[in-house]
Chains A and B, each alone.
Chain A
Amino acid sequence: MSLLTTEAVLALAPDAASAKAAQGLLSPSGWPSLGASDAAVWGECQGSGAKPYQTQVDLAGPAFRCSCPSRKFPCKHGLALLLMRARQPASFGASEPPAWVAEWLGTRAEKAQKQEQKAVERAAAPPAEASSEAAEKREDQRWQRITAAAQDLQRWLADQIARGLGALDDEALANWQTQARRLVDAQAPGLGQRVLAAAAGVRRGVDWPEQTLQRLGLLQLACEGLARREQLPAPLQADLRTVAGWPLDRADVLEQGERVLDRWTVLGAISEERDDKLTERRVWLQGERSGRRAWLLDHAFGGRGFEQAWLVGTSVETALAFFPGAAALRAIAAEPLSATGPTRWPETTTETEWQAVAQRFAANPWTSLHPMVLADAVPMRQRDNVAVVTAGRALPMDLPDAEAWTLLAIAGGRPLRLMGEWDGRAFAPLSACGPDGAITWLRRSA
């Protein structure tokens, strides 16, 4: 378990408060029992109640479970348990898991097995004729609605340009909100969101006319694509479906998506709180054998957290099922993860990375985030901001202040190996890797 470093565990915390609270629970005296096996770590933590909380972590993953009432996930107890495991392995008795641990591990294994079985069955069984017909009909109807909405949107876009962006006052922008709602009503919420985002960008920053034009341009592109959807290659059709805000079912992806079995290096991960208590988590992977990059996107409501955690800097053997699409980046784990091992940081050059980014943007210009692994990146201060300099180019960095200073401290003005997200304007670093391949810095969730 040498891979379980303090840094990696703290990076799993849903927020800074949880990380701090976990560090306050590291005294073994607060844990009447502590145990560990190869597969799991468990312990009972004395909380404020009479009965201690039962905390357990399945190390394949890792996945957390705790009997405490906290809505945070993983909770401070789970984090503290892993931190203690990383720092003071001697405090853990090597033993057979007690009933409450064995039971949970058993259910998890069973669930995974069932899921796999179901997938196999679904793949084997021919789709029921009648239901598939009905489904197809429903699907056709929705496509019709979306196509009609896109036509309407295109007229609306042309209207805006005919009148000019200079005429946009609050009243005109209210009309943009109405347009967005109409798109949602027409079952194309993705387009609606883009209209809202464009409206939010109006009169923001000195270059807002260019930014707004760019946003409208991408909408125009989507409308044109949707108008002649049926003549387009299947992957691009799938991308248009995503842009319209009609995601594929997980089950469909598992069933139909391209499967890649590989040892996946976890390059970076970040959880961000969106509005309405929605947490979005992005995990970036690279296959050691295939060289494929993959993007796992998950959402959780009300701080419920994610069952599966991904430790940056480790590798996981699993099959990913990729969403269909021209850039084929997004995926989901199709199999339960098996034992993690030490990572191999990908070897790459900045030129290769730019090439890959350009190809992915060209294949699907609506994808906003692209993974980049920079081999010789120097973080530096540039006026009041921070930038990363790589291969003769300076990319503005999108990073909270405290994190930016830490990254500057780690680098000391020298090149680092950095992984992060590029959106065409700014680079948001997620992890840094030292010359020996060890992770030296991880972006923390705010």
Chain B
Amino acid sequence: MSSPWTALLPAATVGTDRHAAPLPTWPGDIGEAIQQAAAAAPDPATALLRTVAVLAGCGLAGAQGSAAPAELPAPAANETLPAPGPGLVFDALRQALADGPARLQHEACLILAQAGLRLPELLLPQALELGRRSVALRAPLLPALGQRGLWLAAQREDWAYAAGATNNDDADAQWAEGTLDQRRAWLARTRAADPGAGRERLQAALPELPARERAELAGALVTGLSLADEPLLETLRTDRSKEARQAALQLLLRLPDAAHPRRATERLAPLLTLERGLLLRKRWQVEAPAAAGSDWKADQVDAARPKHESLGERAWWLYQLVRQVPLAWWSAHTGMTAAELLSWAAGTDWTEALVRGWADVLFAAPDNAWCDALLDRWPPTLREDPARVLGLLPHTARDRHLMAYARNGSQPLATVLTHALNACPPGQALSAELSTLLVRTLHEKARNGALNTDYGLRGLLADFACVAHTGSFGALADIPRRADETPTCAEALALVERTVAARRTLHTLIPPRTP
């Protein structure tokens, strides 16, 4: 596009000494003013400068940007949820997003959704940025974004995770156009309301889904799972993708009456025999398979023992068979409880194969009695983090174990807190009793000056403040301070105070939870 300056550029670039052409003219009043100014100039260079002087002044006075695009981009849709206005809640949200900890951000989003609120517009860029960096935050964040957040996310590539579907209420759009996170959330909601409808939508979509999405979305079938899902799981069991096959096999473990787990138990049952032992007492014996079965491959029993595997070949086979059998079968078949089975296994030749197989099944289809039994007497051959098993338990059952750790002092407070935190997914809180006990122990430590020296414990305080029960807020905000506290300790305690204050404010939005 040519500007009023274009005509001057040749002379200005080459220099008036070498560019002898007369100056261009401009129309109207400005043209006249230029002509007057330039005419009286003593030399061509000054004439050009005077022209430029007039143009510069007039150009600035008349500049009004450029013509607006004929059509502006569509504005954000109308909000269906209100956002908290300026005030304590707003400030608590701002602080949570700016300073964390991540668990507080998670809880803040959940509370907003529960209270029927969304994030204030001012905080949306920061929230979207947090979601970009933390995949775990996305699920609770999405419902809190409101229409404005979805609209904003659509304008920036690295926020696309939130921009798939722009309307929370339009369920079909979420499934058809949503991101993976949105589709998984949609499928879980649909399964909760109408498992058959959810299954059909997934089945119809499977052929065009990439491997990772097939696996992820299959996992969502866990909501409302029943034998009606067996045919779909049978298809997925032979999927091209290993992840999708795994997801299907894990779900089948929750359906003991399905054909696959039934075949698995039939395969295993002959290996268990009841033998007469000393003093006429009968005792179960287990034997590992002597050879791989010809039907194994069709049922995804992996006969090929990996290199570097600690189990021998036969033990590996036994392990593979065990990990396809629902845990309930063992008690039903042998009459032993989970605890009895564990101590029985310890006395067999195949301890590791059995225990590892059981643990795999437990993670796929959690069972409280088995969790308790494992945590009460952790088998030395099981190289898993007990916190993972703790995490499978519902609050009360989980807290029983943690309370025992804390009470008998068998573990340092930092270790108990680590377990408590690892077993407490973001957005969940510890029980009132456990919180009280832990805060009391923490007070003792603080009085003894342990917070000055215990680096590990100090680092856990902020996260603990995020999961402590609402009933412990008072005590947690009132940790005894010492005159000789170190700056890092003071900083850690200040963060605890801020976190508790923010949670206190946020919890006013929702009715108190009964533990």
Listed in ascending order, the chain A residues whose CB lies under 8 Å from chain B are 5-7, 20, 23-24, 26-27, 29-30, 48, 87, 154, 157-159, 161-167, 209-210, 213-218, 220-221, 224, 354, 357-359, 361-362, 365, 378, 380-382, 387, 389-390, 392-396, 402, 405-406, 408-410, 412-414, 424-425, 427, 440-441
Contact = CB atoms under 8 A, between A and B. Distances in A.
B43 interface: yes
Contacts of B67: 392-394
B53 A224 contact: yes
A284 B86 CA distance: 24
Contact of A167 (B15, B49, B59, B66): B15
Interface centre among B57, B95, B124, B501 (most CB of A within 10 A): B57
Nearest to B54: A217
24 contacts: A5-B86, A24-B99, A87-B91, A157-B49, A161-B45, A162-B17, A166-B15, A210-B9, A213-B8, A217-B53, A218-B53, A218-B57, A220-B49, A221-B53, A357-B61, A365-B57, A392-B68, A394-B67, A402-B125, A409-B122, A412-B147, A412-B148, A412-B152, A413-B74
B60 A412 contact: no
A409 B148 contact: yes
Interface of B, helix, strand, loop or mixed by DSSP: helix
Interface string B367-398: 00000000000000000000000000000000
A410 B121 contact: yes
A209 B13 contact: yes
Contact of B76 (A24, A405, A413): A413
B18 A393 contact: no
Interface in B455-507: 487, 494, 497-498, 501
Contacts of A413: 72-76, 151
Contacts of B16: 161-162, 164
A406 B63 contact: no
A217 B49 contact: yes
A358 B59 CA distance: 10
Contact of A216 (B18, B19, B44, B52): B52
Contacts of A158: 43, 45-46, 49
Contacts of A361: 57, 60-61
Nearest to B19: A164
B147 to A, nearest CB: 8
Contact of A20 (B17, B55, B65, B98): B98
Contacts of B148: 409, 412
B439 interface: no
Contact of A365 (B61, B95, B487, B501): B61
A409 B124 contact: yes
Contacts of A209: 5, 9, 12-13
Nearest to A50: B483
A216 B51 CA distance: 11
Interface centre among B46, B56, B122 (most CB of A within 10 A): B56
A400 to B, nearest CB: 12
Contact of B68 (A220, A389, A402): A389
B50 interface: yes
B121 A218 contact: no
B410 interface: no
A339 B432 CA distance: 50
B74 to A, nearest CB: 7
B168 to A, nearest CB: 16
Interface in B127-177: 147-149, 151-152, 155-156
Contacts of B18: 164
B35 to A, nearest CB: 16
A164 B68 contact: no
B155 A389 contact: no
Nearest to A438: B86
B74 A165 contact: no
Top 6 closest A-B pairs, CB basis? A164-B15, A413-B75, A217-B52, A217-B56, A412-B76, A395-B65
Contacts of B11: 164
B122 A218 contact: no
A351 B113 CA distance: 44
Contact of A24 (B54, B149, B494): B494
